[in-house]
């Protein structure tokens, strides 16, 4: 298949990592891949190193995120590539791709990956929506969405090879978290939780990888609580997996989390997890695979972390259980064939429609 993947967001996070992994994994399976990203985005910087695996092209957003010249750029790029199918990642990519050609003239199907609550106006021209969790496949979850054409649920995946043997640590001291520094991610509560734990006599180190609009506020909060020696912000990082492997516990403090690619990476690394009870973690974990705590609460986070560090043997048994589930359900080898099979069915359906026209 000739598959075009489109993403014009310029941030850093799990959604971007998933886009990169989609392009690489599908290329490695013999498909011809076009990756379309923003010239000024994090993805272009990262994916330039993988350009031998696929064709990488860029668009320019000179007039902001909703620069409608992107439609013209998409049209030129896609007409030249002549794809069998177009996969949009994010609402803006879906909106602009659907306007490249009128639906009745389009030779290729347009599918969109559901990674947040959807607004009808951005997805009117999409042939198929692919939800990653059961909650995302419910109409009521979305905003004014009418008669959505959902596929079956296909989870997100990670390309991180599962560790062969979990490294048990008798003392959990080094904590790690990764994500976009946004209010939805709940890092303010994680810093407060670190303050509670420090006041209780725990000597813990927390490293946070990520960037975003909340960076200055979070650093200000850390400094106000005198946690400079315990909480470390390292910005957006290309070495998340290495950082996980050198840590003892992964913490996801989100107030809202649709899925959580970093959770899958932690599972692959055999890292014990403490996560809030948000959509993604609740579909990935149960009490046998992670410590799940109430969201929007520093107290709940601190109690969950304390439970994990006081019972390291149980924590690593949970990690071992999570590793097994990762191999069966969330590793690329388990998920990518499902996506490719769905793409093939979409292409066949589009060919039937165009023949009838």
Going from the first residue of the chain to its last (357 residues), give the mean pLDDT of each consecutive group of 10, the final group possibly shorter. Answer: 92 83 95 93 84 88 72 94 95 92 86 86 90 86 82 93 89 95 95 97 96 94 97 90 96 92 96 95 95 97 97 96 97 97 93 62
Judged on CB neighbours under 10 Å (0-12, 13-18, 19+), 215 is middle
Residue whose tokens read 């509560």: 189
Identify whether the C-beta of residue 44 lies closer than 8 Å to the C-beta of residue 58. yes
Q: What is the largest CA-CA distance in the chain?
A: 72
- Fold matches, 2-157+332-356 and 174-330: yes
- Round to whole Å and give the CA distance between 219 and 132: 33
Residue whose tokens read 């990520």: 210
What would the 3-class secondary structure string for 245-309 be? HCCCEEEECCCCCCCCHHHHHHHHCCCCEEEECCHHHHHHCCCCCCEEECCCCHHHHHHHHHHHH
Identify whether the C-beta of residue 38 lies closer than 8 Å to the C-beta of residue 64. no
Say whether domain 174-330 belongs to CATH 3.60.21.10. no
Strand runs (DSSP E) across the chain, as ranges?
A: 2-6, 32-38, 55-59, 85-89, 110-114, 128-131, 174-178, 205-209, 231-235, 249-252, 273-276, 291-293
pTM value > 0.95? no
The pair of three-digit structure tokens given for residue 18, joined into one six-digit string: 């998933």
CATH, domain range 2-157+332-356? 3.40.50.2000
In this prediction, residue 340 carries a pLDDT of 97
**Strand 249-252 vs strand 174-178: parallel, antiparallel, or unpaired?**
parallel
In this prediction, residue 75 carries a pLDDT of 94
Q: How many CB atoms lie within 10 A of CB 120?
A: 13
Domain ranges of the chain: 2-157+332-356, 174-330
In this prediction, residue 136 carries a pLDDT of 86
């Amino acid at each position: 298949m000739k598959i075009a993947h489109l993403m014009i967001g310029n941030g850093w996070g799990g959604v971007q990592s998933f886009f990169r992994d989609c392009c690489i994994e599908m290329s490695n399976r013999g498909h011809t891949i076009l990756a379309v990203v923003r010239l000024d985005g994090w993805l272009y910087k990262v994916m330039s190193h993988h350009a031998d695996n696929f064709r990488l092209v860029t668009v320019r957003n000179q007039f902001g995120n909703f620069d409608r010249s992107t439609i013209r750029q998409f049209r030129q790029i896609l007409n030249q590539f002549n794809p069998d199918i177009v996969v949009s990642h994010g609402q803006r990519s879906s909106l602009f791709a659907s306007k490249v050609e009128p639906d009745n003239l389009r030779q290729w199907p347009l599918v969109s990956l559901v990674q947040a609550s959807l607004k009808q106006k951005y997805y009117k021209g999409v042939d198929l929506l692919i939800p990653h969790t059961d909650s995302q496949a419910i109409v009521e979850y979305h905003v004014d969405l009418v008669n959505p054409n959902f596929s079956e649920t296909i989870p997100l995946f990670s390309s991180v090879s599962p560790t062969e043997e979990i490294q048990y640590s008798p003392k959990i001291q080094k904590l790690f978290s990764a994500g976009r520094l946004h209010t939805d991610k709940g890092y303010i509560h994680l810093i407060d939780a670190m303050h509670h734990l420090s006041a209780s006599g725990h000597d813990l180190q927390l490293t946070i990888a990520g960037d975003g609009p909340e960076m200055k506020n979070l650093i200000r909060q850390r400094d106000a609580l005198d946690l400079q020696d315990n909480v470390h912000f390292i910005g957006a990082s290309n070495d998340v997996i290495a950082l996980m492997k050198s840590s003892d516990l992964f913490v996801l403090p989100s107030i809202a989390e649709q899925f959580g690619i970093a959770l899958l990476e932690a599972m692959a690394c055999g890292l014990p997890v403490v996560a809030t009870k948000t959509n993604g973690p609740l579909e990935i974990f149960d009490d046998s695979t992670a410590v799940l705590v109430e969201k929007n609460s520093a107290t709940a986070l601190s109690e969950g972390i304390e439970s994990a560090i006081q019972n390291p043997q149980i924590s690593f048994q949970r990690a071992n259980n999570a590793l097994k589930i990762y191999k069966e359900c969330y590793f690329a080898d388990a998920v990518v064939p499902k996506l490719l099979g769905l793409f093939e069915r979409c292409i066949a359906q589009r060919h039937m429609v165009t023949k009838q026209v």
